[in-house]
Amino acid sequence: MKIGLSNFPTDYSIRAVPLARAAEERGFESLFVVEHTHIPASRRTPYPIGGDLPSIYWESYEPFTFLAQAAAVTERLNIGTGICLVPEHHPIALAKRVASLDSLSNGRFLFGIGAGWNAEELENHGVAFEDRWKVLREHILAMKACWTEKAAEFHGRYVDFDPVWVEPKPARRPHPPILIGASSKWAIERIVEYADGWLPVLVPEFDERLAQLHRLCEEHDRDPASIDVTVFAMPDKAMIEQLHGKGVNRVVFGLETRPEAESLAWLDQQVEIVEWAQRLD
């Protein structure tokens, strides 16, 4: 079982360099960071889990910049977006950004993706909320073309371009793993169609969705073992053991947005469970 970290990094929490070094030294396999380009001040869209939206949602660093620093000071630590809001990017520009980070990190990038929950945030990027997953799908398909073809082209409803040269190509072939960070029944269908993995928070419907994933893989002639199942969950041995038995590949612990000293102390507390999880078979 692989154990990763997720974080909302800000200018008042632990920086990328000490965090990445500490995570690798303590045996963590991966580091995921979030993305929100901004949060609209109107606050028209409510926080999905209720209450006030924590300020870290608009204070967090741009993830690719943060992860580039993390990659530069580590050798084994995988780095990932948890998640990248794909509809808020131009697909050619995002394809180049992802490929550059994957190439510079020698194939250590994990591309966690999602479509977003804040309607105004998407609207500020020219994307209608109801179209967000359709836009994401075309962006991902267009990016795959950029990563795998010399003269890539794509012609869809939301993305349309004639042959282009986009270099460098990713170090990992054909491209970094694409992990969809959502838990609806439609998310499972999307994973089987065009993604490489599932990146949910551990929700009550997890077992039901996992069964759906296996069923759809069988229907579409995909090997379920080829799909990377990563779960955001608490550092709890009993839970990790259960998830391991269900075929989960990776569990990601949430590191709160804390200063360096507090973050390092918390990481030290997790070393025993990280080492234990690595021995599961």
* Position 103 pLDDT exceeds 80: yes
Specify the pLDDT at position 166. Answer: 98
* CATH 3.20.20.30 for the 2-278 domain, yes or no: yes
Tokens 């993604």 found at: 195
Specify the pLDDT at position 241. Answer: 97
Q: How confident is the model at residue 258 (pLDDT cuts 50, 70, 90)?
A: very high
d(CA 129, CA 123): 7
Share of the chain above pLDDT 90, in %: 100
Q: What is the DSSP string of 204-264?
A: TTHHHHHHHHHHHHHHTT--GGGSEEEEE--S-HHHHHHHHHTT--EEEEEEPS--HHHHH
Which pLDDT tens digit goes with each residue over 55-71? Answer: 999 999 999 999 999 99
Angle at 82 between CA 269 and CA 102, to 5 degrees: 105
Which pLDDT tens digit goes with each residue over 180-194? Answer: 999 999 999 999 999
d(CA 133, CA 173): 25
d(CA 68, CA 79): 9
d(CA 33, CA 199): 13
Q: How confident is the model at residue 205 (pLDDT cuts 50, 70, 90)?
A: very high
Span 13-29, mean pLDDT?
98
* Position 281 pLDDT exceeds 80: no
Calculate the average pLDDT of the chain: 97
Tokens encoding 115:
């479509």
Specify the pLDDT at position 19. Answer: 98
d(CA 115, CA 212): 21
Span 161-179, mean pLDDT?
98
